[in-house]
Amino acid sequence: MVTELTQGVYWVGVVDWAIRQFHGHELSTHRGTSYNAYLIVDEKVVLVDTVLDSFRGQLIQNISEIVDPAKIDIVVANHAEADHSSSLPAVMRHAPNATLVVSQRGKESIEGHYHQPWNFRAVKTGDKINVGENDLIFVEAHMIHWPDSMFAYLTGKNIFMTNDAFGQHYAAVFRFNDQVNREELYEEALKYYANILTPFSGPVLKKIEEVLALNLPVDVIAPSHGIIWRKDPLQIVKKYQQWAAQEPEKSAVVLYDTMWEGTRHMAEAIGQGLAAEGIPCKLFHMGVSDRNDVVAEVFKAKAIIVGSPTFNQGPLPTISPILEDLRGLKFRNKIGAAFGSYGWSGEAVEIIEKHLDLCKIQIVAEGVRAKWQPKPDDLTKCRELGQKVAQAVIA
Amino acid sequence: MDKYKCSVCGWIYDPELGDSDGGIPPGTPFEKLPDDWVCPMCGAAKDLFEKME
């Protein structure tokens, strides 16, 4: 199934309704995704990006609906990650004379993935390739979100093909933002930003400024996953500027795990303390919660309160994945605190506090530890912790 | 001479090696890099590098 974006430009990608885990098992994709590839038919025939290799037959069939794939002159690989590049071997077999246009870093990473002597042409920001009536202009987008990432802009049609930037893991029967549920679209766009782009918020802000300064007319922003932005396309650019500024909402999340419910009771008392001060708060049991959904909630919240019982002289292993996300995703402008129950040694709270400090999450309340099951005055201390954090959120 | 790590992508500037793509000869200390030098991996500016312990 092919969709015409505008005369001579086609979406030839694939919708993957069934995928629920991405990057191996790193990222949850509850709403599936799509791999967007674009075909430009001018004097030259250009394919921009490909699809996951298990769908390569569908891609070739889609291209064939418009043009014989052997007639492809140029293949642009904006990013070497397998969900966009792993059909390159099939495409290059069908189009053996095609030039493969990549960024300098992209040449290294595509070669590193496929070990093929393709006819590469490495481009840098500002380089133009004439395709007939219009030109393709390239913009390197280092670390949005790999060193090789690149955007391709088609003059005349005013289409920015931004690869992973502005994308969402969101399968749909429609292709465009004015055709789908706005709330779902933004939920997935935010989850994508929070889980993938947060640590690169600095480069995101700089790149957006750089691209806006070029004053190129933009009618369509066509990412490599999910929905294409054609109605008020710059809305997602403005949203990215807002997200990249990392100014959280006045809200809190409590992330905890628990063995025999002691730490859970503490988490709930902390939630009561926050609520008493009027601060919205969500509690997540990390043993049973989806890590990536929680990352999206962490992204939005000002306060991150983390609790674990002590287990083998440290936090529970099941709380560790989210601790690693707090480090790796480099959230900014967050405050936090730690808590947990214990039986005899009780190191977990201090270890979590040290970790929050490493993550540059400012600790605004002294940690609370409760021996065995929390007593009423332990729970009072937890409510007070919640109130103290709430006051710091408001301040 | 200290090594410096890019806080954006993790690339390490080793003064013993310099940065041949960026025209920086081996033996150039980080402090002597020109102000407009950028990370050869990700393009981050010099001030986004952190000294390694």
Q: State the complex-level ipTM.
A: 0.81
Mean pLDDT of A81-90: 98
Does the structure show a pLDDT above 90 at B43?
A: no
Distances (CA, A) of A384 to A181, A307, A348, A367, B22: 41, 15, 20, 11, 55
> Which residues are CB-neighbours of A238 under 8 A, at least 6 positions away?
none
d(CA B47, CA A363): 27
**Helix, strand, coil tally for chain A in percent (to 5):** 40, 25, 35
Confidence of residue B53 (pLDDT cuts 50, 70, 90): confident
Q: How many angstroms away from the CA of B7 is the closest CA of chain A?
A: 10
Given a contact cutoff of 8 angstroms between Cβ atoms, the answer to whether A223 and A36 are in contact is yes
Mean pLDDT of A114-126: 97
The DSSP bridge pattern shows strands A301-307 and A362-363 to be unpaired
- Predicted pLDDT of residue A66: 98
Question: Scanning every residue of chain B, which has its alpha carbon at the shortest distance from the alpha carbon of A148?
Answer: B42
Return the structure tokens found at A64: 């064939």
Confidence of residue A296 (pLDDT cuts 50, 70, 90): very high
Mutate to test the interface with A, among B42, B47, B49, B53 (most CBs of A within 10 A): B42
Given a contact cutoff of 8 angstroms between Cβ atoms, the answer to whether A23 and A161 are in contact is no
Q: What is the pLDDT of residues A312-332, one digit of tens each?
A: 999 999 999 999 999 999 999
Whether residue A147 and residue B42 make contact (CB cut-off 8 A), yes or no, is yes
> Please, what is the average pLDDT of chain A?
97
Instruction: Collect all residues of chain A within an 8 Å Cβ-Cβ radius of residue B43.
Output: 140, 142-143, 203
Ramachandran angles phi, psi of A318, nearest 5°: -75, -10
Instruction: Collect all residues of chain B within an 8 Å Cβ-Cβ radius of residue A203.
Output: 8, 42-44
- Predicted pLDDT of residue B21: 87
A118–B contact, CB cutoff 8 A: no
- Predicted pLDDT of residue A302: 98
d(CA A332, CA A327): 11
Task: Report the 10 Å Cβ neighbour count for A121.
Answer: 14
Question: Scanning every residue of chain A, which has its alpha carbon at the shortest distance from the alpha carbon of B38?
Answer: A142
B29–A contact, CB cutoff 8 A: no
Whether residue B44 and residue A140 make contact (CB cut-off 8 A), yes or no, is no
d(CA A33, CA A164): 12
Mean pLDDT of A22-47: 97
A105–B contact, CB cutoff 8 A: yes
- Candidates A289, A297, A252; CA nearest to A271 is A252
Task: Report the 10 Å Cβ neighbour count for A224.
Answer: 27
> What are the b/e assignments for A337-371, b being 16+ CB within 10 Å?
bbbbbbeeebbbbebbbebbeebebebbbebbbbe
d(CA A89, CA A116): 8
Quote the pTM value.
0.95
Element (H, E) at A223: strand A220-223
Element (H, E) at A220: strand A220-223
A156–B contact, CB cutoff 8 A: no
> What are the b/e assignments for A78-97, b being 16+ CB within 10 Å?
bbbbebbbbbbebbbebbee
Does the structure show a pLDDT above 90 at A30?
A: yes
Give the catalytic positions of A in this structure.
23, 79, 81, 83, 145, 164, 192, 225
* Chain A to chain B Cβ contacts (< 8 Å): 24
d(CA B9, CA B44): 8
Whether residue B41 and residue A203 make contact (CB cut-off 8 A), yes or no, is no
Does the structure show a pLDDT above 90 at A149?
A: yes
Q: What is the pLDDT of residues A216-262, one digit of tens each?
A: 999 999 999 999 999 999 999 999 999 999 999 999 999 999 999 99
Residue type, A134: N
Mean pLDDT of A384-393: 98
Distances (CA, A) of A197 to A194, A227, A299, A348, B48: 6, 18, 11, 30, 17
Task: Report the 10 Å Cβ neighbour count for A123.
Answer: 22
Q: How many angstroms away from the CA of A233 is the closest CA of chain B?
A: 27
d(CA B49, CA A225): 32
Q: Which of residues 167-206 of A touch B (CB under 8 A)?
A: 199-200, 202-203
Q: What is the pLDDT of residues A157-207, one digit of tens each?
A: 999 999 999 999 999 999 999 999 999 999 999 999 999 999 999 999 999
Element (H, E) at B23: none
d(CA A331, CA A185): 23
Mean pLDDT of A140-154: 96
- Percent of residues, chain A, with pLDDT higher than 70: 100
Question: How far out from the chain centre does Cα A337 lie?
Answer: 26
Looking at the DSSP bridge assignments, the partners of residue B46 are none
Q: What is the pLDDT of residues A353-364, one digit of tens each?
A: 999 999 999 999
- Candidates A188, A224, A195; CA nearest to A84 is A224
Whether residue B9 and residue A147 make contact (CB cut-off 8 A), yes or no, is yes
Confidence of residue A1 (pLDDT cuts 50, 70, 90): confident
